[in-house]
Amino acid sequence: MEITLENVGRRFNREWIFKHINYTFSSGKSYAILGINGSGKSTLLQILSGSLSPSQGKITFQNGSKHIEIDNVFQKVSIAAPYLELIEDFTLSEAIDFHFRFKTSLNNITAKEVIALLGMEKSKNKQIKYFSSGMKQRVKLALAFLSDTELLFLDEPCSNLDSQGIDWYLELVRSYAKDRLTIVCSNQEVEYSFCENQLRIIDYK
């Protein structure tokens, strides 16, 4: 899987958030999109996921010799981000079951195994709205990592996680990010320390 950006830019009103990005993201590699808060990292990630159109330039998605239409990219993407909310009236078990109606689970992992990986067996019947912010973030990350998709997009993945949660996140990376195209938006090194490649938003202002 490859995502190629040709002269891509995005503006809001008359202000350019970034422009003239020429870059290729390839499967089996990990990338960090770096910049201060408000620099445009999340905006670029939304363009890469096909949920936002660039104001200029062209983005193409290629799977081997097969071109993927932008309207179908969502089928290839798993994403965990602060602006994507869980359905809070669902219990944990219901949230997992609902998610995997739309995404195929990685290695046929079961809801019971997901809950065990989260360490939340005692909370499986608790509604998400009663979870702490750290618990919600763990759920978001688990659902993204455990979906069978070629593209794994993580925006500020360690938000609301304590040191134990950060270690848990890094273990997910080691176990489930291999052979995928992984992109992390961050300004915290611990979140992207494993990424071999870096794209700095400031270079495209």
pLDDT tens column, 113-151: 999 999 999 999 999 999 999 999 999 999 999 999 999
Where is 115: in which H helix or E strand? helix 111-118
Domains of the chain by range and CATH? 2-204 (3.40.50.300)
What span, in angstroms and rounded, lies between the C-alpha atoms of 15 and 4? 24
User: What is the predicted pLDDT for the residue at 189?
Assistant: 96
Question: In three state form, how does the secondary structure of 138-200 look?
Answer: HHHHHHHHCECCCEEEEECCCCCCCHHHHHHHHHHHHHHCCCCEEEEEECCHHHHCCCCEEEE
Question: Can you list the residues of the chain whose pLDDT is less than 50?
Answer: none
Predicted TM-score of the model (pTM): 0.94
User: What is the predicted pLDDT for the residue at 199?
Assistant: 97
User: What is the predicted pLDDT for the residue at 141?
Assistant: 98
Q: 123 phi and psi, to 5 degrees?
A: -110, 10
DSSP label of 76: G
What span, in angstroms and rounded, lies between the C-alpha atoms of 152 and 118? 19
What span, in angstroms and rounded, lies between the C-alpha atoms of 63 and 68? 7
Task: Give, in order, the Cα–Cα distances in Å from 105 to each of 63, 118, 197.
Answer: 20, 15, 27
User: What is the predicted pLDDT for the residue at 115?
Assistant: 98
- The residues that bridge with 160 in the sheet, in sequence order, are none
